[in-house]
Amino acid sequence: MDLSSASGIAKDIDIDAQETQEWLQALQGVLQEVGPDRARFLLSRMSAAAQQWGINWRDARNTPYINTIRPEQEPPFPGGSDAQAIEEHLASVMRWNALAMVVRANRAYGELGGHIASYASAADLFEVGFNHFFRARDEQFAGDLVYFQPHSAPGIYARAFLEGALTEDDLGFYRREIEAKKHGKQGLSSYPHPWLMPNFWQFPTGSMGIGPINAIYQARFLRYLEHRGLLQDQGRKVWGVFGDGEMDEPESLAALSLASREKLDNLIFVVNCNLQRLDGPVRGNGHIVDELETIFAGAGWNVVKLLWGSDWDSLFARDKDGELIDALNRTVDGQLQTFAANDGAFNREHFFGQTAGTRRIAETLTDEEINRLRRGGHDMKKIHAAYHAAANHRGQPTVILAQTKKGYGMGAAGEGKMTTHQQKKLDEEVLIAFRNRFKLPISDEQCKSLAFYKPAADSAEMKHLLARRASLGGRMPRRAANADDKAQLRVPAIETHAKFALDAEGKEMSSTMALVRMLGSMLKDADLGRYVVPIVADEARTFGMANLFRQVGIYSSQGQLYEPEDIGSILSYREAKDGQILEEGITEAGAISSWTAAATSYSVHGLPMLPFYIYYSMFGFQRIGDLIWAAADQRARGFLIGATSGRTTLGGEGLQHQDGSSHVTAAGIPNCVSYDPAYAYEMAVIVDDGMRRMLERNEDVFYYVTVTNENEEQPSLPQDRDVKDGILRGMYCLAPKADAQVRLLAAGPMLKEALSAARTLREQFGVTAEVWSVTSFTELARDGIAAERQARLQPGAKSALPYVTQQLQSGKAPVIAVSDYVRTLSESIRAYVPARYVTLGTDGFGRSDTRANLRDFFEVDARWIAYTALTEVFGADAAKLKDAAAKLGVDLDKPLSTSV
Ligand SMILES: Cc1ncc(C[n+]2csc(CCOP(=O)(O)OP(=O)(O)O)c2C)c(N)n1
């Protein structure tokens, strides 16, 4: 072979071929006589020398468009060719059942949707995993974790059907979850959703990009648990099977360097490079495989290209002049797709016909054989070799770039077609051709009626299938929904960590300080402490958490390889292998992925943890809302702490930092319980309740609590009456007043303004105001919706009034509500307020200025609250109101905050 072709570098720039041969022969000699280590060493030395001598050469990080693993390096297929044949047949059965499920559903109800082509291309990749690599959780082993490509779900259901985990009835209810329940069946969700199938799916991946980043942080969290001595290192793996199109999502690639930096050799990505996405080619004019190779290799991953099946081996062996490799290097993906969509004769003429050498190579093949030349991701032996190499690779995560054909086996109806992604209806000839193509033992009639096919229980293939899974710990995917029974954390008495907040006696502190102090005490708790996971995205100092660096350490898989500059300080930056804080750097997407891993550890690892992710509230729901939504789907349990919250409370920072909307987004997540507390004691009560609900009662809820950096005088928890119930349900009265002329409902930092307004009203206008602390408009609104509905659905029955109505029904005094959020939040309870109701809020873009100016700008400060109260008390008396405005110093001509 002409060795110059092995580089993949075009020959036309080779000005001295003989010299090239000599260099290559020298390297080949070293490889053959001394071995690959020495060859690698020499290449590294040459590279270093080139740098030193100013040659300015850099490895292109691309290898030729051929398999990374050479045929002679492939291990034998377990069970030999007989086993391989059985597994290939099983993959065909899965393909058929998956296809039948989607086509059936859409024949009956055209709107249901679903995908055939993605799984058709990924089936062999999944099957090799299921038969040989994906180890389930059993008594001894905690299980590998697999992130499944979402729109390949029909194939995963098809396998569960063969394994006996799902019935034919279940398959009949694919994408009909509501109808299924009416028939006593569970129904199959469109994509992996633990919320909807809590005993089946572990990880929600339906929104592209979330699976990849979550998988990386999951692998990292596994290491964290192992390094902290909370989990035994059992060599568990995290696998993620994703699409090549999905790699365009920023989140997919965002954490690649973390994975290599942390040497996560417990992590394997399989990217199904069928070269197509929804609309067309992923990189029509280039090579997505090469692009991904560069990106992953550059980020420090071990890259395995799995491009061609075994039948190509002999073609490459005959490629003496490297013309075949050159042709592949030259052929862009759009063209490869066209070749995939056409037959052997077309490929002979247009691909192999490119040069005399490639034409000669194809001469020994019939058109049918050319047609059947498989891509690497459809060859189980090659897939097995790649997975084996990945599973045994040490010191780096591995990505397998597996080339496949989208719609594999769908023939003229879908294979390699531009429109194949959305193909969900197939006519009868196509179904019969599919049956013939995969040699499925089903009749024409069964084919046309889309009968599901399950081989007999005593058939060789069924025995093989079940034996393989039995040897790998049983069926997968399987989510441990009842891990709760075994695992519970003991929640300490509230006084142990929050006494200072309950008995604050007017001490000044911000709610952030109060939260961090509670957290610090919880971390010291003998039982609970080690399970608490503080998470920050480079804002620990902002939130006054630097003392925790020293107290519990920052997790670092390498420990601390340097002497920190501040070593003598009590706040010293201490990194440790068993450190407890996850300091993620400036990546909210990464930090929330860590939080999700910790918040679902109770199920994924049977080990409940208590994560607190504390972040700039503006960079939470707004920026990474979809990742939070996925965590909710995954039944996360933990605390999200939105710090420096409130559009006017975070002074100075301006438009992009001041959050006035996160509570509105949080309200849309059904299992997110959110609070905007004003006082430290409220926070103590909320956090205590949250811990009990999540850790003791095992409720699948998580908490969103906003905290602020404004120092406040903190009163003690009232002792004269029980306000805890009110705090948790969303509102309570600070000081009931029978003669109240107006009632002020205020949330979080606005409570202080409302109290000040009440004083002004009394002192300057002789008006009595009653002040209520609203800890959660969202919980109040939810209660109202439920109570109203209950009354509607049970006509005539005595049902409870909404909590808001109950609380406010004793008087008719108008109600003014104010929060540091957009008015949509306080508007959400309007229907339940049994009096005139006026809302004030912070609608509009933030500004950089002082709190006082911001609150004036948004018309939420004490003066504006007082003025608004007076508009209700004075009614239409314009003169009195103008007079009051002048007295209060509010400008009635100022522009609306949303318009400037
Ligand atoms: C965030 C997000 N955007 C868009 C989609 C819709 N979508 C589902 S699959 C798909 C194409 C996937 O292409 P690829 O990753 O290459 O997978 P393939 O089906 O080709 O295997 C798109 C755009 C989604 N699910 N999530």
297-335: pLDDT as tens digits: 999 999 999 999 999 999 999 998 899 999 999 999 999
- Residue 169: phi and psi, rounded to 5, are -60, -45
Q: How confident is the model at residue 426 (pLDDT cuts 50, 70, 90)?
A: confident
pLDDT of residue 4: 44
Atom 13 of ligand 1 has which residue's CA nearest to it?
277
Tokens of 574: 């201490």
pLDDT of residue 3: 45
Chain-centre distance for alpha carbon 169: 31
Whether residue 208 has its Cβ less than 6 Å from ligand 1: yes
Average pLDDT, the chain: 95
Whether residue 241 has its Cβ less than 6 Å from ligand 1: no
Whether residue 560 has its Cβ less than 6 Å from ligand 1: no
C-alpha 85 to ligand 1 mean position (Å):
31
Contacts of 128 (CB under 8 A, 6+ apart): 87, 380, 383, 384, 387
Average pLDDT of the segment spanning 583-606: 97
Q: Which amino acid is at 735?
A: A
Q: Which residue has the tokens 């290939």?
A: 88
Atom 17 of ligand 1 has which residue's CA nearest to it?
243
pLDDT of residue 818: 98
C-alpha 282 to ligand 1 mean position (Å):
11
C-alpha 208 to ligand 1 mean position (Å):
6
Whether residue 418 has its Cβ less than 6 Å from ligand 1: no
Atom 23 of ligand 1 has which residue's CA nearest to it?
278
Chain-centre distance for alpha carbon 785: 30
Whether residue 405 has its Cβ less than 6 Å from ligand 1: no
Global pTM value: 0.95
Nearest atom in ligand 1 to the alpha carbon of residue 242 is: 15
pLDDT of residue 486: 58
Task: From residue 290, give the alpha-carbon distance in Å to each of 257, 296, 297, 328, 708.
Answer: 18, 10, 10, 12, 48
Q: Which among 263, 112, 132, 89 has a CA at the least distance from the CA of 177?
A: 112
Model confidence over 204-250: pLDDT tens digits?
Answer: 999 999 999 999 999 999 999 999 999 999 999 999 999 999 999 99
Q: Which amino acid is at 323?
A: E
CA dihedral 772, 668, 187, 138 (to 10 degrees): -80
pLDDT of residue 900: 92
Report which DSSP code applies to 440.
-
Q: What percent of the chain has pLDDT over 90?
A: 90
Tokens of 691: 């811990």
C-alpha 396 to ligand 1 mean position (Å):
27
For a pocket test of ligand 1, which of 193, 208, 333 has the largest count of ligand atoms closer than 8 A to its C-beta?
A: 208
pLDDT of residue 483: 55
Q: How confident is the model at residue 12 (pLDDT cuts 50, 70, 90)?
A: low
Q: Which residue has the tokens 């860590």?
A: 594
Residue 487 pLDDT greater than 80, yes or no: no
Report the distance separating Cα 261 and Cα 300, nearest Å. Answer: 8
Q: Which among 652, 648, 676, 650 has a CA at the least distance from the CA of 662?
A: 676
Model confidence over 714-737: pLDDT tens digits?
Answer: 999 999 999 999 999 999 999 999
Whether residue 404 has its Cβ less than 6 Å from ligand 1: no
- Cβ proximity of 158 and 94 under 8 Å: yes
Model confidence over 742-795: pLDDT tens digits?
Answer: 999 999 999 999 999 999 999 999 999 999 999 999 999 999 999 999 999 999
C-alpha 341 to ligand 1 mean position (Å):
21
